[in-house]
Structure 1
Amino acid sequence: MKWSEPMNLLQMSLSASVLILMAVAFRKFFSDRIPRTVFSLLWLLAWWKLMISAPMGFPVPAAHSLSGKMPDITAALPFSAGTWQTAGAGPDFGWNLLKILWLCGAVAVSLYIAYLHAASMKKYRTAILLKESSWIPMWLEQKRSFRRITVRVSDEIDSPLTYGIFFPVILLPKQTDWADKESMKLILEHEAAHIRHLDALKKLCLNISCVCHWFNPLVWLMAALACRDMELACDEAVVRAVGGENRKLYADLLVELEAKRAGIHLLTSGFGQSLMKERVLHIMNRKEKVSLTGILFSLAMVISYITVYGAMPSGTFSLNFRKDDPTLGGIFELYSVEEYQRIVDAVKVDRGEKDPDAVAMERDLNRLKADNGKGEYVIHKGAFLMETETVMVSFNPTIVMRPELVNRNVLLTAETYRNDMAEVAEILDDAIADGFLTEAQRKRVMDKMEENLAGIESAPVP
C-alpha cells in the first residue's frame, strides 16, 4: 500500500470506520454477556483493516464495487485511442495539498506521543529494583512468562503500571503497603495479565493507527475503548485467578488505587485506563464462568463482524486472474455506447471539437455505434492510472487486446507494433517501480503482445 496516496488512506479509514462502529454497538448492547478478549479480537480486526488490509499486488480503486469489477477510471481522465496520454503538465495541486496536510498532522501527533513517552521513560528510569519483598520474584516465576519480568519501585508514580514490550517491567509506587500481601497479589495479578496479553504492544499499534489516521475521530475512539477493554480483560483475569469470593476485595482495592492515581502514559498499562464505575460494575457483575448464551453471542458477533470485514473494500485490492483473460485478470472491460459518448463529450468540452484526440475518439464512437453490439468492434476501458512526480498517464488496453482496432496515422505492421510494445513496456516498468504492478502481471501483458506480434508477422501482406 502507498501511504502517500490520499484515496487509499481515506478508503481504508472509511472501511475500518464501519467495523469500529459495529464494535462500539456490540460493546454497548452485549458488554455484560461477552468476555473482553472477544472485543480485543474485534479491535484487532478493525486495526488490521486500518493498517494492513491492502494486500500486495495489482492495486485497483475499489470504491465503486465490492464484486471486483474494474471501475470506470477513465471517466475523470479521458485518453486517446493511442497507447497512452499525458494527463497533466504537473502534479495535481489538490492531492498534493492533502498529502502535505496529512503529513503535517501525522508528524504533529507523532511528536506529541514521542514527547509523552520520553517524559514518562525519564521518570521510570529513576526506579530501583524491588528489595522490600522476597516472595514477589518467586511468585512471578510461577507465572511462567516467556519474557523475564522485572519489578521496580518508583516515587514518581501514584499507582502500579506496566511498561515494556520485550523486557516488561512492573512499576510499583514507593508508598505501596508491602505488608498487605493479599492486595499485593491482586495488583501483581493484574499487571502480569497486562504482560501476558501483550498490552504494551497493542497500545503501540493503536498509537500508530492514531498517527496514520489522525483525521478520523473514530480511530481515536477505537484507541480509547480498546484501552478500556484491555483493563477490563485484566480485571476478568484477576477474578478468575483469585476466585469470585475475592471480587469485592479487588473492587475496593481498585477504588483505593484509582483515588491515588496521578495519570498514566499512553504506552503504559495501568489501573486507571477505564472509568471507575464501569470497571467496578464489571467486576461485581461478571460471572465466573461464561454461559452457553455468552458463547453463542460471542460466536454470532465474531462471525457477523468477520463477514462485514471481508465485504468492506480496502484502499486497494488484488484481482484474481481469470483463465479467459491472459492479461490483467479481467479488468479490461468494454465501453458501452452511452459510456463512451460521455467520454467523447467531456473531451470535446475540455479540448474543443477539433482537437486530434477528440476527432479520433469521435471516429471510434461512430464505429462503436455502427457495430450495434455485435462485438466486432469494441473499445476497452483503461487499466489503471499511473502517477509519477511530473505526470499522470492512463494505460489503454486496446493496444494489447485488439491492436487492429486502434486508430493510427500509420499502417499496423510488425514494425509499428514493436514500437507499441516498447512504449507499453516502458509504462509497465514505471508502474512496477512505483508499486502499481507486479512482474508476473507485466509478463502476462507482454506475452499477449508477443502473441499479437506473431500473428501480425504471419499475416499475408495485403
Structure 2
Amino acid sequence: MYESCFYFVINMSISGSLVILSLLIVRQIKIISRRLLYVLWFVALIRMLLPFAISSSISVFNYLSGLIKKLIPVGNLFDANFTVSNYFNAALSYSPMEYKTQRFEHVFGISSCIWLMGVCISLIAIIVIYCSTIRQYKNAVHLKDNIYEDKTVLSPFLLGIRNPKIILPIGLDISSSQAVHIIAHEKTHMQRMDNLWRIIGLGTVCIHWFNPIAWFGFFFFLNDMELSCDEATTKTYGFAKKKEYAEALFSIAGNRQNKNLIHASFGKSDTKSRVLNVLAYKRLSVFGIAASIAFLLLVAIMLLTNPKV
C-alpha cells in the first residue's frame, strides 16, 4: 500500500516541481502583483497533493517534450477526461532487461519505507512544534480583542489557526501608528487564514521531503505570502501612510526572533524588498484587475491540467 502511495507521490512531486519552476519564472515579471503570485502558489500546492488532473491542449506539459512522460487513464474512478501523471515509470516498459525488475522492486520497496518514515517524523515534528508554540504563549497578557503581549516576544506575529491571537512585544503602545500598522498587517493574515495555509504547505513539503525543489518553492511561497499581505494591507493607503508602514517594518526588522514556520510574523521576511514593494505598489484599475484575473486563469489552467493524450 505504502509503495503505491510513494509511486503516486513521486509523480506528483515531478509535476509539482515543474509547476514551481514555472512560477519562479513568472515571479521575474515585475509588473505582476504579489497578491496574484500568492494565489498562483496554490496551483503548485494542488499539483503536489492531487495525483489526477483534467487534460487540456494548452497544458504547459504539452510543451515539455524533453521530459519522458506517459499518462495512465484512471479508469472508472473518475471521468474519462481525468488522467494520472506517470513520469517516474515511463521508461520501464521499454526495457528488455526483465531480470532487473525484481531488483528494482526491492530497491523501490526500501525507498518507500524510508520515505514513509521521513513523512511520519516530519509530521510529528510539526505537531510537536505547533503544540509547544501554543503552550509557550498561553500566559500572554490580554490587551483587547484578540491582541496580546508577551515579554519573550521580539517581533509581532499571529499565533494559532482557530481563534488566532496577535502577539505583540511588551511595551508597544497599541495606539501608536506603528502598532496600528502592525495590527492591520496581522489582521490581514488572519482574514486570509494564512496560518492555516502555512501548515498545509508545510505538511505538503513534508510529504515531499526528499524533493529540494518543493522546499525551495515553499520558502518562496512564504515570502510572497508576506509581500502580498503588505499589498493587501496598504492597498487603500496614500504615499504618506505607506511611508509610515515602511518605517514600522524597519523598526521591527532590528528585533527579529528566530524564524518559525508555524506562524506569520510582521518582521520576518526580507525588509528591503518588502519596503520597496509597498512603496512601488499601485492600486490596479478596472482594466488591470480584469487583465490580472485573465492572466491568473490562463496560467492556472496551463499548470493544473495534464497534456492531451
TM-score range, shorter-chain basis? Answer: 0.7 to 0.9
Q: 1:119 to 1:311 in 2, by over 3 A?
A: same
Aligned residue identity for 1:158: L
- Residue 157 in structure 1 maps to residue 170 in structure 2: no
CA contact (8 A) 1:163 1:268 kept: yes
CA contact (8 A) 1:3 1:9 kept: no
Q: 1:77 to 1:62 in 2, by over 3 A?
A: farther
CA contact (8 A) 1:34 1:294 kept: no
- Residue 177 in structure 1 maps to residue 173 in structure 2: yes
- Identity value in percent: 24
**Secondary structure, aligned partner of 1:225:** helix
Structure-1 residue corresponding to 2:119: 106
* Mapped partners of 2:190, 2:3: distance in 1: 31
Structure-1 residue corresponding to 2:181: 186
Q: Deviations 1:369-394 (Å, cap 9, x if unpaired)?
A: xxxxxxxxxxxxxxxxxxxxxxxxxx
Aligned residue identity for 1:277: K
Shift of 1:280: 0.8
Please give the TM-score of this superposition, normalised by the length of structure 2: 0.79
**Secondary structure, aligned partner of 1:152:** strand
Q: Deviations 1:195-223 (Å, cap 9, x if unpaired)?
A: 11110111011111111000111111121
Q: Deviations 1:17-47 (Å, cap 9, x if unpaired)?
A: 11101111111223xx222221122111110
Q: 1:100 to 1:253 in 2, by over 3 A?
A: same
* Mapped partners of 1:25, 1:91: distance in 2: 35
Q: 1:62 to 1:184 in 2, by over 3 A?
A: closer
- Residue 250 in structure 1 maps to residue 263 in structure 2: no
Structure-1 residue corresponding to 2:70: none
Aligned length: 281
* Mapped partners of 1:242, 1:217: distance in 2: 38
Q: 1:169 to 1:91 in 2, by over 3 A?
A: same
- Find the partner of 1:97 among 105, 110, 119: 110
Q: Which runs of 5+ in 1 are unaligned?
A: 65-70, 80-86, 131-135, 138-149, 314-318, 320-462
**Secondary structure, aligned partner of 2:52:** coil
* Mapped partners of 1:74, 1:178: distance in 2: 66
CA radius of gyration, larger in: 1
CA contact (8 A) 2:51 2:85 kept: no
Structure-2 residue corresponding to 1:369: none
Aligned residue identity for 1:276: T
* Mapped partners of 1:158, 1:239: distance in 2: 23
Q: Which runs of 5+ in 2 are unaligned?
A: 54-73
Q: 1:307 to 1:3 in 2, by over 3 A?
A: farther
Q: 1:294 to 1:21 in 2, by over 3 A?
A: farther
- Residue 117 in structure 1 maps to residue 109 in structure 2: no
State the structure with bigger RCO (CA 8 A, min sep 6), 1 or 2.
2
* Mapped partners of 1:42, 1:238: distance in 2: 19
Shift of 1:298: 5.7
**Secondary structure, aligned partner of 2:27:** helix
- Residue 35 in structure 1 maps to residue 58 in structure 2: no
CA contact (8 A) 2:231 2:278 kept: yes
Structure-1 residue corresponding to 2:68: none
**Secondary structure, aligned partner of 1:156:** coil
Q: Which has the higher strand share?
A: 2
* Mapped partners of 1:22, 1:91: distance in 2: 31
Structure-2 residue corresponding to 1:7: 7
**Secondary structure, aligned partner of 2:235:** helix
Aligned residue identity for 1:13: S
Aligned residue identity for 1:44: F
* Mapped partners of 2:118, 2:40: distance in 1: 27
Q: 1:12 to 1:77 in 2, by over 3 A?
A: farther
* Mapped partners of 2:83, 2:299: distance in 1: 26
Q: Deviations 1:214-256 (Å, cap 9, x if unpaired)?
A: 0111111121111111111111122124433301111011010
